Structure 1
Amino acid sequence: MKQRGFSLIELVVTMAVLALVLFATAPSIGAWLDNSRIRNAAESLQIGLQTARSEAVGRNQSISFYLVSLADPGVMDNSCALSASSGSWVVSAASPDTHCANAPSTSVAPKIVLKRAVGDGGGKVKVSGLQADGTTGGTTVTFNGFGRVVNADPIARIDITGPNDGAAYRNLQVRITSAGAIRMCDPHVPADSTDPRKC
């Protein structure tokens, strides 16, 4: 009777080949995961900004988008504080500072509409909310009933970058114009390009 199965030599050779393949692809898998986190964080921020603008227009009242830092990036609790360097955000009628755990409400301050912790898929990324000068940090952008930006020193741009300096990531930006237009763009695309992803 003929025996079936793998010999020890076949098993060792298969394991060696698998180890070489994993060793060769590990760096690209890590970069791919970081780029996915950058994309997730950028899309989350864009959704928050669009929600703030559409709620302001729908309610015909000022609604703001706030960047907030959290003690635990995955938990929206009352440890939150306004921060230009966090990917967590709150859409509300008033500042959510120390009130981020409040449930959404149209009557209880700060009248939260929607909130998202950066740990919900966009963790380990670096986020910088910037005013129109491109260097001063910004934490808030407020939209009025016409969908226009009305607060002093609003966020004009949010940069989303990877966790390690010097690494080649597909970094993204979310830009907000004074007229209230919100778009995600790729800062690596040349400005003179016809590519619609350019900033």
Structure 2
Amino acid sequence: MRSRGFSLIELMVTITVLALILMGAMPSIGTWLGNLKVRNSASSISDGLQQARAEAIRRNEAISFWLVSLPDQTTLSNDCALSSTAGSWVVSMNSPVGACAAAASTTVAPRLVAAHPVGDGGADVTVAAFQANGTTAANQVTFDGFGRVINTGPIALVNVSKNATVKSLRIVVNTAGSVRMCDPTVVSTTDPRRC
């Protein structure tokens, strides 16, 4: 009489087949995770820029978006510094240097509106912010009450990348204040993802 269930041989064959399938999928999973980190970071920066613009329009006064570096990328702290190569950001009326972890306030400096650490979702991602010429580093953009860019040397584009196997993204800010995320590798003039 045979008992129900799997034999040891059947179980070992099943585990071996599953291991082979997983080994074949690992490179794809690594690329997918890299693309996800780039997308998360680019979306976060784009959302912060749009929030700064919307807040400037809502309050009818100048509001700035600042890229900041943090000692611990997962936590906002007051040990922050302005940076053109960081994925963390702060939306405020005044420079947030030394006050990135301050509570949101309309009266207490830096008059913080919102802040976001790059965190685990954007770890190992390269961020590079530039002025309109594409070579001069920038770390801030200020929007006026109409949502237009008003400061000198503002962020005009932000490149977000990881490595050669992962898709890069770019955030473009024009002088009218519109914020757009695009793919710098797309060359077709009819593709809406084109920069």
- TM-score, normalisation: structure 2: 0.97
* Other-structure match for 2:30: 30
In structure 1, what is the equivalent of residue 73 of structure 2? 73
**Structure 1 unaligned spans of 5+:** none
1:180 paired with 2:177, answer yes
Q: Where do residues 87-106 of structure 1 align in structure 2 (5 Å cutoff)?
A: 87-106=87-106
The alpha-carbon deviation at position 120 of structure 1 amounts to 5.2
CA distance in 1, matches of 2:50, 2:98: 24
Q: 2:193 aligns to what?
A: 197
Q: Does 1:144 align with 2:144?
A: yes
Identity over aligned residues, as a percent? 54
For structure 2, the 5+ residue unaligned runs are none
Distance in 2 of aligned mates of 1:134 and 1:110 = 29
1:169 CA drift (Å): 1.3
Query: Structure 1, residues 118-154: CA drift from partner, whole Å, max 9, x if none?
Result: 0152222111111111111100000011111111100
Matched residue, 2:165: 168
- More displaced stretch, 75-84 vs 119-128: 119-128
Structure 2 counterpart of 1:99, which letter?
Answer: A
* Distance across 2 between alignment mates of 1:105 and 1:75: 19
3-state SS of paired residue (1:46): helix
Residues 1-10 or 178-187, more deviating: 1-10
Q: Give the letter aligned to residue 173 of structure 1.
A: R
Q: Which amino acid aligns with 2:18?
A: L
Letter in 1 for 2:185: H
Secondary structure of the structure 2 residue equivalent to 1:136: coil
In the alignment, the residues of structure 2 paired with residue 29 and residue 129 of structure 1 have an alpha-carbon distance, to the nearest angstrom, of 28
Deviations 1:18-52 (A, max 9, x none): 11111111111011011011111111111100111
Please list, as runs of the form range in 1=range in 2, the aligned pairs for 1:6-25 lying within 5 A after superposition.
Answer: 6-25=6-25
Q: Which residue of 1 aligns with 2:121?
A: 121
Give secondary structure in 2 for the equivalent of 1:189. coil
Counterparts of 2:143 and 2:173 in 1: how far apart (Å)? 11
What is aligned with 1:57? 57
**For this pair of structures, how many residues does the alignment match?**
195
Which AA in structure 2 matches 1:132?
Answer: A
